[in-house]
Amino acid sequence: MTTKVERRIKIKYRVRNKISGSAERPRMSIFRSNKQIYVQIIDDLSGKTLASASSLGLEDKLPKKELAAQVGGLIAKKAQEVGVLAVIFDRNGYLYHGRVKEVADAARNGGLKF
């Protein structure tokens, strides 16, 4: 019997074997904790984070899904400042639902292509 975290990590490694971010199309990785959500845009070839955003500095009174949508818009804006227009989406083993979906939708509306 595997725990929920072990199951997510197994899915994460299965997905990471198939995708890798490049300089032209970096990987947009999401980490979701119980209280916060973090997004990074990573160039795996050079091993560098090009842009990052999180819900840490944002208003705490909003529901988590609305915070996630704000983080998605923020990462789209930061990515365009660095010159990134298209990314590979890495949901990091989480289901594409709820806060993960909110970040993805907001990033798409902000101009990122994936």
Helix, strand, or coil here: 100? helix
pLDDT tens, 86-95? 999 999 999 9
* 71, 73, 74, 77: CA torsion to nearest 10: 160
Q: At what angle do helices 64-82 and 99-109 cross, to 10 degrees?
A: 40
Amino acid at 51: A
pLDDT tens, 46-78? 999 999 999 998 887 899 999 999 999 999 999
Q: Residues near 93 by Cβ (< 8 Å), separated by ≥ 6? A: 7, 8, 9, 10, 11, 12, 15
Q: Which domains does the chain have, with CATH numbers?
A: 4-109 (3.30.420.100)
| Token pair 């298209």 in the structure block, residue | 86
